[in-house]
Amino acid sequence: MLAIVIPIALTLVAASVAMCFWRLLKGPTVLDRILALDTLYVNAIALLVLLGIHIGSTLFFEAALLIALMGFIGTVALCKYLMRGDIIE
Amino acid sequence: MLDYLISFLILTGAIFTFIGSLGLVRLKDFYTRLHGPTKATTLGVGCLLIASSIYFSIYTAGLSLHEVLITIFLFITAPVSAHMLAKAALHVGLRSLAEIPEEKLAEKKKGSAAAKQANIQEAGKPPSAESIETKDT
Protein backbone atom coordinates (compact mmCIF):
# COMPACT_ATOMS: atom_id res chain seq x y z
CA MET A 1 0.00 0.00 0.00
CA LEU A 2 2.64 2.48 1.06
CA ALA A 3 4.83 1.48 -1.88
CA ILE A 4 2.10 2.76 -4.24
CA VAL A 5 1.05 5.83 -2.29
CA ILE A 6 4.45 7.38 -1.59
CA PRO A 7 5.53 7.78 -5.26
CA ILE A 8 2.14 9.39 -6.04
CA ALA A 9 2.53 11.77 -3.11
CA LEU A 10 6.13 12.56 -4.12
CA THR A 11 4.94 13.39 -7.64
CA LEU A 12 2.19 15.69 -6.34
CA VAL A 13 4.56 17.55 -4.01
CA ALA A 14 7.20 17.83 -6.73
CA ALA A 15 4.55 19.31 -9.05
CA SER A 16 3.66 21.86 -6.40
CA VAL A 17 7.35 22.77 -6.00
CA ALA A 18 7.49 23.33 -9.77
CA MET A 19 4.41 25.59 -9.58
CA CYS A 20 6.03 27.59 -6.78
CA PHE A 21 9.08 28.07 -8.99
CA TRP A 22 6.84 29.31 -11.79
CA ARG A 23 5.33 31.91 -9.48
CA LEU A 24 8.80 32.81 -8.21
CA LEU A 25 9.98 33.55 -11.73
CA LYS A 26 6.81 35.15 -13.03
CA GLY A 27 5.39 36.91 -9.96
CA PRO A 28 4.41 40.45 -10.94
CA THR A 29 5.42 41.99 -7.62
CA VAL A 30 8.12 41.45 -5.03
CA LEU A 31 5.57 40.19 -2.53
CA ASP A 32 4.41 37.44 -4.86
CA ARG A 33 7.97 36.21 -5.03
CA ILE A 34 8.31 36.28 -1.24
CA LEU A 35 5.06 34.33 -0.94
CA ALA A 36 6.37 31.81 -3.48
CA LEU A 37 9.54 31.38 -1.41
CA ASP A 38 7.44 30.92 1.71
CA THR A 39 5.37 28.19 0.05
CA LEU A 40 8.53 26.67 -1.39
CA TYR A 41 10.09 26.05 1.99
CA VAL A 42 6.92 24.45 3.34
CA ASN A 43 6.87 22.21 0.25
CA ALA A 44 10.52 21.35 0.83
CA ILE A 45 9.63 20.18 4.35
CA ALA A 46 6.85 17.99 2.91
CA LEU A 47 9.28 16.54 0.35
CA LEU A 48 11.89 15.76 3.01
CA VAL A 49 9.35 14.06 5.28
CA LEU A 50 8.04 11.94 2.41
CA LEU A 51 11.58 10.97 1.43
CA GLY A 52 12.26 10.03 5.04
CA ILE A 53 9.29 7.64 5.06
CA HIS A 54 10.28 6.27 1.64
CA ILE A 55 13.87 5.51 2.62
CA GLY A 56 13.01 4.66 6.21
CA SER A 57 15.48 7.03 7.76
CA THR A 58 14.86 9.47 10.62
CA LEU A 59 17.86 11.58 9.65
CA PHE A 60 15.76 13.99 7.62
CA PHE A 61 13.80 15.47 10.50
CA GLU A 62 16.64 17.65 11.72
CA ALA A 63 17.00 19.03 8.20
CA ALA A 64 13.23 19.67 8.03
CA LEU A 65 13.30 21.46 11.39
CA LEU A 66 16.21 23.65 10.28
CA ILE A 67 14.45 24.50 7.02
CA ALA A 68 11.28 25.45 8.94
CA LEU A 69 13.26 27.72 11.25
CA MET A 70 15.34 29.43 8.56
CA GLY A 71 12.40 29.80 6.17
CA PHE A 72 10.30 31.57 8.75
CA ILE A 73 13.15 33.90 9.69
CA GLY A 74 13.79 34.65 6.03
CA THR A 75 10.16 35.52 5.30
CA VAL A 76 9.90 37.76 8.36
CA ALA A 77 13.18 39.51 7.51
CA LEU A 78 12.09 40.20 3.92
CA CYS A 79 8.69 41.52 5.03
CA LYS A 80 10.29 43.67 7.70
CA TYR A 81 12.69 45.08 5.13
CA LEU A 82 9.80 46.00 2.83
CA MET A 83 7.81 47.57 5.65
CA ARG A 84 10.49 49.50 7.53
CA GLY A 85 13.44 49.68 5.14
CA ASP A 86 15.54 47.99 7.81
CA ILE A 87 15.61 44.56 9.40
CA ILE A 88 17.00 45.16 12.88
CA GLU A 89 16.29 48.60 14.21
CA MET B 1 -4.87 -1.51 9.25
CA LEU B 2 -2.55 1.27 10.37
CA ASP B 3 -0.91 1.09 6.96
CA TYR B 4 -4.18 2.24 5.40
CA LEU B 5 -4.42 5.11 7.86
CA ILE B 6 -0.86 6.20 7.03
CA SER B 7 -1.56 5.94 3.29
CA PHE B 8 -4.75 7.98 3.66
CA LEU B 9 -2.95 10.69 5.63
CA ILE B 10 -0.09 10.83 3.13
CA LEU B 11 -2.45 11.12 0.15
CA THR B 12 -4.56 13.81 1.85
CA GLY B 13 -1.46 15.77 2.75
CA ALA B 14 0.01 15.57 -0.74
CA ILE B 15 -3.28 16.57 -2.38
CA PHE B 16 -3.71 19.53 -0.05
CA THR B 17 -0.13 20.68 -0.71
CA PHE B 18 -0.82 20.43 -4.44
CA ILE B 19 -4.05 22.42 -4.14
CA GLY B 20 -2.28 25.13 -2.16
CA SER B 21 0.37 25.59 -4.83
CA LEU B 22 -2.27 25.43 -7.54
CA GLY B 23 -3.96 28.35 -5.78
CA LEU B 24 -0.65 30.18 -5.78
CA VAL B 25 -0.43 29.83 -9.55
CA ARG B 26 -4.05 30.23 -10.60
CA LEU B 27 -5.53 32.95 -8.39
CA LYS B 28 -5.67 36.44 -9.76
CA ASP B 29 -4.48 38.88 -7.15
CA PHE B 30 -1.96 38.92 -4.31
CA TYR B 31 -4.43 38.80 -1.43
CA THR B 32 -6.28 35.78 -2.80
CA ARG B 33 -2.95 34.15 -3.62
CA LEU B 34 -1.93 34.65 -0.01
CA HIS B 35 -5.05 32.78 1.06
CA GLY B 36 -4.35 29.63 -0.96
CA PRO B 37 -0.96 28.36 0.23
CA THR B 38 -1.13 29.53 3.84
CA LYS B 39 -4.29 27.57 4.59
CA ALA B 40 -3.85 24.51 2.43
CA THR B 41 -0.15 24.00 2.98
CA THR B 42 -0.42 24.05 6.75
CA LEU B 43 -3.06 21.32 6.69
CA GLY B 44 -1.21 19.34 4.02
CA VAL B 45 2.14 19.35 5.76
CA GLY B 46 0.39 18.72 9.09
CA CYS B 47 -1.17 15.54 7.66
CA LEU B 48 2.16 14.39 6.23
CA LEU B 49 3.96 14.96 9.51
CA ILE B 50 1.32 13.07 11.52
CA ALA B 51 1.58 10.17 9.04
CA SER B 52 5.35 10.17 9.43
CA SER B 53 5.03 10.23 13.21
CA ILE B 54 2.72 7.18 13.19
CA TYR B 55 4.96 5.36 10.70
CA PHE B 56 8.16 5.79 12.69
CA SER B 57 6.39 5.07 15.98
CA ILE B 58 5.36 1.67 14.58
CA TYR B 59 8.46 0.64 12.66
CA THR B 60 11.22 1.89 14.93
CA ALA B 61 11.70 1.52 18.64
CA GLY B 62 10.00 4.12 20.80
CA LEU B 63 7.77 7.07 20.05
CA SER B 64 8.84 9.43 17.29
CA LEU B 65 8.12 12.97 18.42
CA HIS B 66 10.40 15.03 16.15
CA GLU B 67 7.51 15.57 13.76
CA VAL B 68 5.29 16.95 16.47
CA LEU B 69 7.94 19.59 17.09
CA ILE B 70 7.96 20.57 13.39
CA THR B 71 4.13 20.55 13.29
CA ILE B 72 3.83 22.85 16.29
CA PHE B 73 6.48 25.17 14.90
CA LEU B 74 4.76 25.35 11.50
CA PHE B 75 1.34 25.91 13.05
CA ILE B 76 2.71 28.81 15.06
CA THR B 77 4.78 30.44 12.32
CA ALA B 78 2.55 30.06 9.22
CA PRO B 79 -0.14 32.56 10.35
CA VAL B 80 2.53 34.97 11.60
CA SER B 81 4.34 35.03 8.26
CA ALA B 82 1.04 35.35 6.38
CA HIS B 83 0.13 38.31 8.58
CA MET B 84 3.52 39.92 7.94
CA LEU B 85 3.10 39.43 4.18
CA ALA B 86 -0.37 41.00 4.21
CA LYS B 87 0.88 43.92 6.28
CA ALA B 88 3.81 44.46 3.91
CA ALA B 89 1.42 44.34 0.93
CA LEU B 90 -0.80 46.99 2.51
CA HIS B 91 2.26 49.10 3.28
CA VAL B 92 3.62 48.86 -0.26
CA GLY B 93 0.15 49.71 -1.57
CA LEU B 94 -0.78 46.67 -3.61
CA ARG B 95 -4.28 46.99 -5.03
CA SER B 96 -6.72 44.15 -4.68
CA LEU B 97 -9.04 43.27 -7.52
CA ALA B 98 -12.10 43.76 -5.33
CA GLU B 99 -14.10 46.89 -6.00
CA ILE B 100 -13.90 49.70 -3.52
CA PRO B 101 -17.17 50.07 -1.55
CA GLU B 102 -19.18 53.16 -2.57
CA GLU B 103 -18.99 54.87 0.81
CA LYS B 104 -15.22 54.59 0.81
CA LEU B 105 -15.13 55.89 -2.77
CA ALA B 106 -17.12 58.97 -1.78
CA GLU B 107 -14.82 59.54 1.19
CA LYS B 108 -11.81 59.18 -1.06
CA LYS B 109 -13.16 61.73 -3.53
CA LYS B 110 -13.76 64.18 -0.72
CA GLY B 111 -10.31 63.51 0.64
CA SER B 112 -8.60 64.00 -2.70
CA ALA B 113 -10.54 67.25 -3.29
CA ALA B 114 -9.39 68.54 0.09
CA ALA B 115 -5.86 67.44 -0.68
CA LYS B 116 -5.94 69.31 -4.00
CA GLN B 117 -7.02 72.50 -2.26
CA ALA B 118 -4.26 72.05 0.27
CA ASN B 119 -1.79 71.58 -2.58
CA ILE B 120 -2.94 74.80 -4.23
CA GLN B 121 -2.47 76.63 -0.99
CA GLU B 122 0.98 75.23 -0.46
CA ALA B 123 2.35 75.53 -3.96
CA GLY B 124 5.93 74.43 -4.44
CA LYS B 125 5.62 71.42 -2.21
CA PRO B 126 6.51 68.26 -4.13
CA PRO B 127 3.68 65.75 -4.64
CA SER B 128 3.74 62.74 -2.38
CA ALA B 129 5.28 59.59 -3.78
CA GLU B 130 2.79 57.44 -5.59
CA SER B 131 2.19 53.93 -4.47
CA ILE B 132 3.78 51.23 -6.56
CA GLU B 133 1.50 50.22 -9.38
CA THR B 134 0.94 46.58 -9.94
CA LYS B 135 0.17 44.59 -12.99
CA ASP B 136 -1.93 41.61 -12.19
CA THR B 137 -1.93 38.65 -14.53
Euclidean distance between CA atoms A16 and B96, whole angstroms: 25
Q: In this structure, is residue B117 part of a structural domain?
A: no
Q: How many domains does chain B have?
A: 1
Among candidates B52, B78, B47, which has minimal Cα distance to B65? B52
Q: Check B135 against A56: CB less than 8 A apart.
A: no
Nearest CA-CA distance, residue B92 and chain A, Å: 7
- Average of per-residue pLDDT values in chain B: 81
The crossing angle, in degrees rounded to 10, of helices A60-84 and A30-55 is 170
What is residue B130's predicted lDDT score, i.e. its pLDDT? 46
Q: Name the burial class of residue B125, with classes exposed (0-12), middle (13-18) and buried (19+) by CB atoms within 10 angstroms of its CB.
A: exposed
Euclidean distance between CA atoms B111 and B118, whole angstroms: 10
What is residue A76's predicted lDDT score, i.e. its pLDDT? 92
Q: In this structure, is residue B77 part of a structural domain?
A: yes
Q: In this structure, is residue B105 part of a structural domain?
A: no
What is residue A43's predicted lDDT score, i.e. its pLDDT? 93
Chain pair A-B, CB pairs under 8 angstroms = 156
Q: Is the pLDDT of residue B37 over 90?
A: no
Q: What's the pLDDT tens digit per position in A31-86?
A: 999 999 999 999 999 999 999 999 988 888 889 999 999 999 999 999 999 888 87
Nearest CA-CA distance, residue B17 and chain A, Å: 7
CA distances from A78 to A42, B24, B34, B38 (A): 17, 19, 16, 17
A41: left (phi over 0), alpha (psi -120 to 50) or beta: alpha
Q: HSE on the CB side for B80, CA within 13 Å?
A: 14
Q: What's the pLDDT tens digit per position in B100-117?
A: 777 777 777 777 776 666
- At a CB cut-off of 8 Å and minimum separation 6, what does A4 contact? B7
Is any Cβ of chain A less than 8 angstroms from the Cβ of B78? yes
| CB distance B48 to B9 below 8 Å | yes
What is residue B125's predicted lDDT score, i.e. its pLDDT? 47
Among candidates B43, B1, B64, B6, which has minimal Cα distance to A50? B6
pLDDT bracket for residue B19 (50, 70, 90): very high
Nearest CA-CA distance, residue A54 and chain B, Å: 10
What is residue B64's predicted lDDT score, i.e. its pLDDT? 78
Q: In this structure, is residue B79 part of a structural domain?
A: yes
What is residue B122's predicted lDDT score, i.e. its pLDDT? 53
pTM of the model: 0.80
With H, G, I as helix, E, B as strand and everything else as coil, classify residue B75.
Answer: helix
What is residue B116's predicted lDDT score, i.e. its pLDDT? 65
Chain B partners of A67 at a C-beta cutoff of 8 Å? Answer: none
Report which of residues A54 and B61 the model is more confident about: A54
Provide the total of helices (H) and of strands (E) in chain A, helices listed first: 3, 0
Report which of residues B15 and A27 the model is more confident about: B15
Q: In this structure, is residue B76 part of a structural domain?
A: yes
pLDDT bracket for residue B66 (50, 70, 90): confident
Range of the domain at B16: 2-92
**Measured between alpha carbons, how far apart are the two ends of chain B, in Å?**
47
Q: In this structure, is residue B27 part of a structural domain?
A: yes
